[in-house]
Structure 1
Amino acid sequence: MKPRSRFGTALGAVAMAATIPLVLAGCSGSGGSTSSGKVDSITVLDYYNQGNDKTVIGDYLDKCGAANGVKINRTLVPGSSLIQKVLQQASSKTLPDVLMLDNPDLQQIAATGALSPLTDYGISTDGYAKGVLDAGTYKDKVYGLAPTVNTIALFYNKDILDKAGITPPTTWDELKTDAKKLTKGSQYGFAVDANATYEGTWQFLPFMWSNGGDEKDINTPQTEEALSLWTDLVKDGSMSKSVVNWTQADVNDQFIAGKTAMMINGPWQIPGLKDSKVDYGIAQIPVQSTSDTAVAPLGGEVWTVPNTGDKAKQKVAAKIVDCMNSEKNQLGMAKLRYTIPSKTAAAEQFGIDVPAEQVFVDLVASARARTGELGEDWPKAATKIYTAVQSSLTGQSSPADALKNAQSSN
């Protein structure tokens, strides 16, 4: 989950989605239909507005448009502005024909009635990992599909670990021991993003979930043990106190600068790591014991078909979404964007073609959708989690009290 574009929207904007009524029948204001009813253009809204993502997604949208005989008119907005713009468009009856959403936001938007089920257009949902379908589902209907997805894993500096005679840790005890041994001078052993945003929650989830913790109630021994691990790493100096303010990009900068030997991060950092010439490796996130299985959160964006009221254009829009999700296009985009195809067969082929990212392929296969259990209530739980993390890591409360207080908050 890249900063912002791989994570959640501002909670206030999301909350508005449930309160603004949408009157959508006959509301298309995007044009693109001729007098004969033939669709000649489709409007698309997404937040891939920078660098490689902007180019790759644009190329594939154009390719899918050409394959279906329509021109793609694409609008790009900053990630933080997307939901607010969608709400405004819904109110003014100018929703785009194809809408991209960060997967945790789909529930809130689908709940307003702004989206149409993809199965209404004959789009197959076969062959996707469970977490991918969970992320695109609202009330048992699939409203969005993600061509590629991502998650997070353990990155380590091979040179630093080799010199210390350390192999990547697989358990929490090994992580604590190794991180302490790798901490010296200005170099920390381990780093995470523990800031007070959904991104901080995203990074904590593998530790909580893999230990049996659950977002429905974070005031449990399992989640306390996970938070105690992070807190102990800060207390003993193996992890910088500054992690409470770092973004994932900051963590990556620390890693590239040699100021941390290991970090939790995602595959979107790989281009920068390659440019830096750091000799890095990727491994599974450590779990409490060897009998536990790493459970990672699913990142990535879903493509949807809004209810614009123009049935002809909605059908063509669905063809664009379907095209973006073909195995061939998933694989092509994944290789160019350092993400993982969401269809299992395509992901397996990706692992063969790009063995350096096999760890992410393995994690995505069993990754969990953040909204899988709580749906529209996920943002509330995410806020409670990062609030507890902040309280504990800054020493304001013990891990147990931090989780108790956060769980009881509104």
Structure 2
Amino acid sequence: MNRGRTPALALAVAAIPAAVGLGGCASTPDPATITVLNSATDTVEHAQNQKFFDLCAKPLGLKVRQTSVPADQVASKALRMASSRSLTDILELDGSELPQFADTGGLIPLKSVAVDITGMSPGAVSMGSYKGTQYGIARSVNSLALIYNTDLLRAAGLKPPTTWEELKATAKKLTRGKTYGMAFSASPNADGVYQFLPFFWSNGGDESHLDDGRGAGALQLWKDLVDDNSVSKAVVNWTQQDVNDQFVAGRAAMMVNGPWQVPVLNTHKDLHWAVATIPVPKAGGAPVPPIGGTVMTIPRTGDTGRQKTAAKLLNCLNSEKNQLSWGESVNNVPTRTAAAHQYSVNNPKLAAFADEVATARSRTARVGAGWPVVSDALAGAFQSVLTGQATPEKALKQAQAQATAGE
């Protein structure tokens, strides 16, 4: 999914390269075991990961041992391991975190150990790169789409909206009783920013020049939906999980959300839903959502032999066959375009997610390690507009000033 980074966490990341070079006691790593640090704390996901690790490690005569911690603890855990000279052979990071790690020199370029990224979607390549160098590879990615209640739209004689004007009209017609026509997250954190970006980017918004005027229309759209009572005013506090809860409870006919909600949606057999691409400003345009997920990197531990072995594992994990199998197991889209196409064929109900990944962008592509500051500024902008404290234009000017001051 997506996360922000606290200043303390950024400082921890900056300290990793120095920690790698520290002296001190360190146990000799088992030559037959490759280690991985990731955030797969969910029991099912951890087991699924292990299945694929074992599949690729067995032909190499190896075993893989995962260390899984909560996502917001990966960086600090990596620092502690680096300090004791026990950093793992593979470090799996959220895509938005990679620039901070790469900027410190703590990761090795994947090209230097022959990790193959050919045939991958441009957005996925961008998510794993920093200043033109590839440091990470993603097995699968996710994005956002419009998920809608097919029964409610059919009863109202409506089709999924494709443009912003259609979205406003459809949401208004679907708002009845305790059911709002639309739901999204506008929380003042990474969840809200992630959901705002498809509207901001699709209208030409530029995160490196927030006040150029092109993103104001996206803020106005969100304000119009709230002012029209087609969207609850409570969205300023809702996380993406809250949005899904509203949809499942029948209090929202449509929502912006990601494929990570599919397992929950599937447990409600009486809830009939489908997925469409996110509406765009004008007919014929392509939505530009953010691309999310994790990337696997190889830390600069100094052991070139283990680094080359880790690279062989990454190449196996990212074969078209394994990407497709992994993507289907976690409801994410493979990053190799051929595998993504087959994913759409095999999973037509989720095809819209695969379609959007083709035009999705990395949050860090333009501003790199400065993304956390920009993210906070954007969150402040839509919060101030939705709570009536500023116009879209004024909010984005303030956001640009905040981003510049935080550089």
Q: TM-score scaled to structure 1, two decimals?
A: 0.94
Q: TM-score scaled to structure 2, two decimals?
A: 0.95
Residues 77-116 of structure 1: per-residue CA shift (max 9 Å, x gap): 0111112212333333321111100011111001111111
2:233 is matched with which residue: 238, 241, 260?
241
Post-superposition offset of 1:51: 4.0
Pairing 1:14–2:10 present = yes
Aligned to 1:379: 372
Residues 47-95 of structure 1: per-residue CA shift (max 9 Å, x gap): 0111432221121112222232112121110111112212333333321
Post-superposition offset of 1:121: 1.1
Q: Which amino acid aligns with 1:76?
A: S
Post-superposition offset of 1:176: 0.7
What is the SS of the residue equivalent to 2:115? coil
Post-superposition offset of 1:11: 4.5
Pairing 1:355–2:352 present = no
Aligned to 1:32: 29
Aligned to 2:312: 319
- Report 1:10-409 matches (<5 A): 10-18=6-14, 22=18, 24=20, 29=26, 31-33=28-30, 39-277=31-269, 278-409=271-402
Residues 282-314 of structure 1: per-residue CA shift (max 9 Å, x gap): 001011110322111101110111111122211
**In structure 2, distance between residues paired with 1:10 and 1:399:** 26
What is the SS of the residue equivalent to 2:214? helix
**In structure 2, distance between residues paired with 1:231 and 1:29:** 56
User: Given the superposition, is the C-alpha separation of residues 341 and 20 from structure 1 closer, same or farther in structure 2, using an over 3 Å criterion?
Assistant: closer
**In structure 2, distance between residues paired with 1:184 and 1:219:** 37
Are 1:30 and 1:43, in contact at CA under 8 Å, matched by a contact in 2?
no
Q: Which moved more, 1:87-96 or 1:193-202?
A: 87-96
Post-superposition offset of 1:402: 1.6
Q: Which amino acid aligns with 1:65?
A: A
Structure 2 residues not aligned, in runs of 5+: none
Are 2:39 and 2:68, in contact at CA under 8 Å, matched by a contact in 1?
yes
Percentage identity across aligned positions? 44
Post-superposition offset of 1:26: 8.7
Residues 221-255 of structure 1: per-residue CA shift (max 9 Å, x gap): 22111001001111111111111111111100100
**In structure 2, distance between residues paired with 1:31 and 1:392:** 56
What is the SS of the residue equivalent to 2:298? strand
Q: Which moved more, 1:156-165 or 1:216-225?
A: 216-225
User: Given the superposition, is the C-alpha separation of residues 284 and 11 from structure 1 closer, same or farther in structure 2, using an over 3 Å criterion?
Assistant: farther
Post-superposition offset of 1:365: 1.3
User: Given the superposition, is the C-alpha separation of residues 143 and 377 from structure 1 closer, same or farther in structure 2, using an over 3 Å criterion?
Assistant: same
**In structure 1, distance between residues paired with 2:43 and 2:383:** 32
Q: Which amino acid aligns with 1:231?
A: K
User: Given the superposition, is the C-alpha separation of residues 363 and 11 from structure 1 closer, same or farther in structure 2, using an over 3 Å criterion?
Assistant: farther
Post-superposition offset of 1:25: 5.1
**In structure 2, distance between residues paired with 1:31 and 1:267:** 41
Are 1:211 and 1:288, in contact at CA under 8 Å, matched by a contact in 2?
yes
Residues 168-212 of structure 1: per-residue CA shift (max 9 Å, x gap): 011111111111111121111101111011121111001011111
What is the SS of the residue equivalent to 2:34? strand
Q: Which amino acid aligns with 2:291?
A: L
**In structure 1, distance between residues paired with 2:272 and 2:27:** 49
Are 1:26 and 1:308, in contact at CA under 8 Å, matched by a contact in 2?
no
Are 2:16 and 2:78, in contact at CA under 8 Å, matched by a contact in 1?
no
Are 1:43 and 1:73, in contact at CA under 8 Å, matched by a contact in 2?
yes
Residues 329-387 of structure 1: per-residue CA shift (max 9 Å, x gap): 10111111100000001111111111111111111112111111111111111111111
Q: Which moved more, 1:191-200 or 1:82-91?
A: 82-91
Post-superposition offset of 1:129: 0.7
Which 4+ runs in 1 deviate beyond 6 A?
A: none
Are 1:351 and 1:357, in contact at CA under 8 Å, matched by a contact in 2?
yes
What is the SS of the residue equivalent to 1:306? coil
**In structure 1, distance between residues paired with 2:224 and 2:100:** 36
**In structure 2, distance between residues paired with 1:85 and 1:30:** 17
Q: Which moved more, 1:320-329 or 1:257-266?
A: 320-329
